[in-house]
Structure 1
Amino acid sequence: MREVFQQELREVQDRLVEISTLVADSIERATQAFNESNVALAETVIADDDKIDALAAELDELAIQILARQQPVARDLRIVVSALRISASLERMGDMSEHIAQLARYRFPEKVVPKGLRGTFRDMGALDVEIARKLTELLRTEDVEIAEQIRNEDDKVDALHLSVFDKVLGETWKGAAVDTVDATLASRYHERFADHAVSISKKVQYLATGDWVPLDA
């Protein structure tokens, strides 16, 4: 019975890695669609989000079945419960990718943001992609050093996010109302994507070390 339980826990981890890989692919395509005004690529991101949602729901069902059948305690219980919470965060990361792609689709054939902000969003998108790839590796290996790297990259995303607000609220901003709305929404989506990754990394770090990292750390 114990061997079966361990196999189920490995399946949970494998499924998390699978979903995380899809999320990383999604944000990479979403940011490319956003930066290049590629409506066909945006449509694929939007369509594929259903797959992420479905896999997350299937993982949640598996975790609930494990809780009901195995009634785990101590660290095993934390692993299963954490998997449920990580699955929810990954699903939300997929939603953020979808929202970014939707902005590209809505504004096609125009670019979503004015020229003066495009470099900022390219940098922010590249950081989100890097964070997503690192997150997949973290879920695969539980290497706590990767968790620290994700937090450092998130700090860079936060700084870029603040720079977008400084830009659109500044006296020199000449963008129309729709430009302001699109820029602030897109920046928020990028920032929230990275925040969810940090939340997951803290849970993995806790499982690996037993030390909880405060949310504001």
Structure 2
Amino acid sequence: MRTTFHAELDRLAAELGAMCATAGSIMSSATAAVVYGDMNAADRVWSELSHLSALNQRVQDRTLTVLARQAPVARELRFVVSAIRIAGDADRMGGLAANVAKVAQRNHPAPAIPSDTTAHFAEMGRVAVELANRAHHALADFDADKAREVGPADREMNDLHRRLFTLVSDATWTHGAAAAVDVALLGRFYERFADHAVEIARRIVFEATGETPERTDYEAAMEATL
């Protein structure tokens, strides 16, 4: 009975990892749509998002089954509770990536962003996918050390987001208000995507150690603005 139970928890961890990997793939496709005007990539977003939703439903069903049949306690209960929350974060990551693709589709056939911001968004996309992949690898065995590796990439995303805001608010911006709004929105989508990856990492550390990592001063300040 316990062997079956632990096999169920292993499948749950694998599905959570697959959710993070899928969220990263969605963001990769969405970034290609925004940066390069690739509408085939934008179309892929929706099929990938459907797959993510199916994974999320599978995780929710499995966690309910485990709670009902196994009545887990202590660390096992902590694992199941963390799994529910991680699935929610990964699902939101996919939704934020889909919002990026929507901006590209709404502006098509015109470029979604000014040409002097494409390199910036390409880099934000790269970092976002890296964050999702790091969360994926940490979930393979709920490895706290791997989860802590999410932090440096998140700080890189925060720096990119700050520089983007400076660019849009600068007096030398010549692309108009509509482009500024789109660029600001896109930056926010990427930054929030990263925030959810950080939350996943924090939950992995909690599950593995029983301790919740403290938020950085930057994270606390950003949370206070929400």
Query: If the length of structure 2 is used for normalisation, what is the TM-score?
Result: 0.91
- Deviation sequence 1:42-82 (CA, Å, 0-9, x none): 01102321221121012111101211111111100000010
Q: How many aligned residue pairs are there? A: 217
For residue 29 of structure 2, what is the aligned residue in structure 1?
Answer: 29
Q: Measure how far apart 1:211 and its partner are.
A: 2.2
Q: Aligned ranges for residues 48-127 of structure 1 at < 5 Å?
A: 48-127=48-127
Q: Measure how far apart 1:212 and its partner are.
A: 1.4
- Deviation sequence 1:13-46 (CA, Å, 0-9, x none): 1111222221121111111121101112101102
Structure 1: where are the runs of 5+ without partners? none
| Range that drifts further, 59-68 or 112-121 | 112-121
Runs (4+) of structure 1 exceeding 6 A deviation are none
- Deviation sequence 1:154-182 (CA, Å, 0-9, x none): 11111111111111111111122210111
Q: Distance in 1 between matches of 2:147 and 2:14?
A: 18
Structure 2: where are the runs of 5+ without partners? 218-226
Q: Percent identical across equivalent pairs?
A: 32
Query: If the length of structure 1 is used for normalisation, what is the TM-score?
Result: 0.95
Matched, 1:164 2:164: yes
| Range that drifts further, 41-50 or 177-186 | 41-50
Q: Distance in 2 between matches of 1:209 and 1:111?
A: 47
- Counterpart code for 2:115: K
Q: Distance in 2 between matches of 1:106 and 1:46?
A: 15
CA contact (8 A) 2:34 2:113 kept: no
For residue 154 of structure 2, what is the aligned residue in structure 1?
Answer: 154
